[in-house]
Amino acid sequence: MAEGTWYAGDIDRVIVTEDQIRAKTEELAKQIAADYADADSLLLVGVLKGALMFMADIARALGRYGPPVEVEFMAVSSYGQGTTSSGVVRILKDLDRDITGRHVIVVEDIVDSGLTLSWLMKYLRSRSAASVDVVALLRKPDAVKVQVPVRYVGFDIPSEFVVGYGLDFDERYRELPYVGVLKPEVYARS
């Protein structure tokens, strides 16, 4: 981890390094480009805010290999405990444009229970997308249980709370170039 940064002292362990993220993003972009070689274009739908870094990097990598991309963003929030189990999601920011007939790729930071994602995929299909696939940088073990079809996955990580590369704790740590686990005292401080 980078010494001399304000956050270095808060990080317990790095889970996925900057180099690993760079190499994996390149690999995923090549796969997507090969699978969509016949498509005129791809519509990347980033899920705010966590996907911000991954969205930028995967879009740049697709620029080297893939069909032209367009980018859209959505913001969603899961309802509290009781309702989350039914996968009900509130849209905070909807798509700005019609997606009828488009090849959509949802760009996600992390898939945990998978409920947000399965709701989102249903929603995008109901908006008449030609296809809906998902690329997620990270996946936690619980995601396997709910059988969300995440076609492109960067890294399977343990069920621990992680920050960095778009992921936050209390809106902080999104700017970290890697994914890591915070020291216990950071939580005690807040």
Within 10 A of 157 (CB to CB), how many other CB atoms are there? Answer: 17
Q: What is the CA angle 140-146-148, rounded to 5?
A: 80
Residue 69 or 107 having the CB closest to ligand XMP: 107
Instruction: Confirm or reject binding of residue 186 to ligand XMP (CB under 6 A).
Output: no
Q: Considering only residues 21, 150, 167, 176, which one is a binding residue for ligand XMP as defined by CB under 6 A?
A: 167
The footprint of ligand XMP on this chain (CB under 6 A) covers a number of residues equal to 15
d(CA 94, CA 74): 5
Please choose, out of 8-16, 36-44, 127-135, 160-168, the segment that lies near ligand XMP by the rule CB under 6 A.
160-168
Q: What is the CA angle 44-49-84, rounded to 5?
A: 95
Residue 41 or 159 having the CB closest to ligand XMP: 159
Out of Mg ion, ligand XMP, none, which partner does residue 10 contact, by CB within 5 to 8 A per kind? none
Residues with a known catalytic role: 112
Where in 103-132 is the site for ligand XMP (CB under 6 A)? 109-117
Please choose, out of 30-38, 57-65, 121-129, 158-166, the segment that lies near ligand XMP by the rule CB under 6 A.
158-166
Please choose, out of 23-31, 54-62, 121-129, 161-169, the segment that lies near ligand XMP by the rule CB under 6 A.
161-169
Beta bridge partners of 139: 111, 156
Of 131, 157, 123, 102, the closest CA to residue 47 belongs to: 123
- In whole angstroms, the minimum distance from the beta carbon of 16 to ligand XMP comes to 12
Using CB under 6 A as the criterion, which residues of the chain lie in contact with ligand XMP when the complex forms?
Answer: 50, 109-117, 161-163, 167-168
